[in-house]
Structure formats: structure tokens, C-alpha cells
Amino acid sequence: MPSLSGLLILDKPRGWTSHDAVAWLRRRVKTRQVGHAGTLDPAAEGVLVVAVGSATRLLPYLQEADKQYVAHVVLGVETTTDDLEGEITAITEATPPSQADVEATLQRFQGEIVQVPPRFSAIKVDGTPLYRRARAGQDVSAPPRRVTISRLSLLFYHYPDLVVVVDCSKGTYVRSLARDIGAALGTGGYLHGLVRTRVGRFTLAQAWTIDELEAGLSPETWSLFALPPEDALSAGPALILSEQDEAAWYHGSPVRLSAPAVPDLLARVYTHDGYWAGLARPASTGRWRPVLVTGQ
């Protein structure tokens, strides 16, 4: 049997870590070469893009993708972890904000913002994950980071429950966003529930549940569940090598291909007979430089 390769769009269940999902898939398809593109907290659920075999080489590109979430925020309560996994640290008896106040506050968090990640997170400070330092009672925090919230829309509000849709850049902590929205409203708040509905072009509608995979996934049926690796970057142009250019391509040399060059946009490259050959970026007028070369 040829080695497995491809992308699996998984609907990660609540209570599983992203590592749990990867370990489960390794056992299921009997290969160690499995990785994921973007961690989901155990309390969160939804889209987890998992790569198998040679598709794991695409993970650095997949991790750059923007994300979409549906988040349930509870106002009036704060926790140590900024979500329901932590201990309650404060309960505020505040006058419930009006819906107009909530909508105005959400507008303040759209665009590029500065965000402080939660104290209980996997971000490393001096080589040690923050959550370990926090559990040890150390008062540490991660450096602030700039993230982009391209959309923050109200779906439902009835105090203390607030449900929003968030479209954001990589590196965004929705737990921090929930905490900061609560602070801006003067009530405090924490993230009670989170569903990731999109990673790049992959949506929850494409995702397989664990129950569905339990019923049919095996090494023999892998191709029925998996997507081709190059689907990860289908927004870019597709380029086809001539037979004469293939040798140069596989030696890592730029090749001349007729396609409009868009700066920073990756192109999928195929052999003359239709096999995926890797990824390229514009090198100069009419030439494309290999950035990822797949096996011949």
C-alpha cells in the first residue's frame, strides 16, 4: 500500500486536546507522520485541520490561515483561565449593559488590536509554558501581541449571555477577547463556549466527527475521507510544468511559467501529466521559484 498523504478536516470534540486528536488519528491510520494546523483548547470544539504523510510539509502555510469562531461569552464573572475551565476570581453585580452598549463595544475590538494572551496558555516565556508557571503560583504574563479582528458580529445577547462571530488572524486568543470585552463593558467576562467554524478555506461543514471516522476510517479507506494536500492552497494560481521544465524544478531552480505574479501569493505547481509537484513564489518576470518540492 502506498504511504498515506493528505488533509483530514476534523470536528474536534470538546474535552479533547489537539494532541489527543493527532494521537487518535495516528493509531487509526497506523502512521506516525501526523500533525495539525493550529491548536484548539480542550474546552473548544470545531475545525481542526490535520495533515498526514507528506502533507505535513504544508503545516507552516496552513498555520498562517485566518480563523472563524462562534464564541459564547458570559458577562459578570471572571476566571483564572479566562474560560470555564478556571476558578472564579470575581463576580460583578453590575447593571446589565444595553444591547447598544454591547454593539458599540464590539466595534472597538475590530481591526488591529493589542492583546495579552491568557496566563494559562501554552506560550513559552524563558522556555517554559505559561500554564506551568501559573499552576506553580508564579505571577507571569505573556508579552502583548498584535492581532487582527476582521469581523466581530453580535449573534445573541441576553445578559449575562453574549454570543458573537469572530473572524481573526492567526495567534488570536478568543479567551482574551472575551475577557477584554467584559472589562470594557465594566462587568468582567469569560469564555464559556467556543466553536471554530473555519480555518482558511476549510469549514465545519467539511469536517468529520469522531463518530463518523470511528465507523469507517482505516488506512484502506483513507482516500475516501482525506483531501489532496494541495487543496490547502487552492486560492492561488495553478501552474503546469512542461516536460522540459520538470528537471529544473526538481533541482530547485526557478522555472519560466506564464501566469500573473502576485507578491506573497503561493502557486500550486503540477507536472505535465497532472501530479502535484509543490509550491512556488514569483522570482522575477515570468519565473517562479520553488518553495516546496514534492516527491517525483
Confidence at residue 122, expressed as pLDDT on a 0 to 100 scale: 64
Q: Is residue 142 part of a domain?
A: yes
192 shares its domain with 221: no
114 shares its domain with 134: yes
Q: Is residue 1 part of a domain?
A: no
Confidence at residue 1, expressed as pLDDT on a 0 to 100 scale: 47
Q: Is residue 106 part of a domain?
A: yes
Confidence at residue 261, expressed as pLDDT on a 0 to 100 scale: 60
- The packing angle between helices 174-185 and 99-108, to 10°, is 130
Q: Is residue 99 part of a domain?
A: yes
Q: Which of 184, 176, 210, 209 shows the shortest CA–CA distance to 69?
A: 176
Confidence at residue 260, expressed as pLDDT on a 0 to 100 scale: 63
Q: In what order do the strands lie in the sheet with 276-284?
A: 238-240, 267-270, 276-284, 287-293, 255-256
88 shares its domain with 168: yes
Which residues are catalytically annotated? Answer: 41
- pTM, two decimals, is 0.86
Instruction: Tell me the pLDDT of the chain (296 aa) as tens digits.
Output: 457 889 999 999 999 999 999 999 999 999 999 999 988 989 999 999 999 998 898 888 888 889 999 999 999 999 988 999 889 999 998 899 999 999 999 999 999 999 998 876 666 666 666 666 656 666 677 788 999 999 999 999 999 999 999 999 999 999 999 999 999 999 999 999 999 999 998 999 999 999 999 999 999 999 999 998 878 776 677 888 888 888 888 888 888 876 666 666 788 888 888 888 888 888 776 788 888 888 65
Ramachandran angles phi, psi of 193, nearest 5°: -155, 145
Task: State the total domains in the chain.
Answer: 3
What is the rounded distance in angstroms from the CA atom of residue 205 to the CA atom of residue 289? 35
Confidence at residue 231, expressed as pLDDT on a 0 to 100 scale: 81
Question: What pLDDT digit, counting tens, does each position of 60-83 carry?
Answer: 888 888 999 999 999 999 998 899
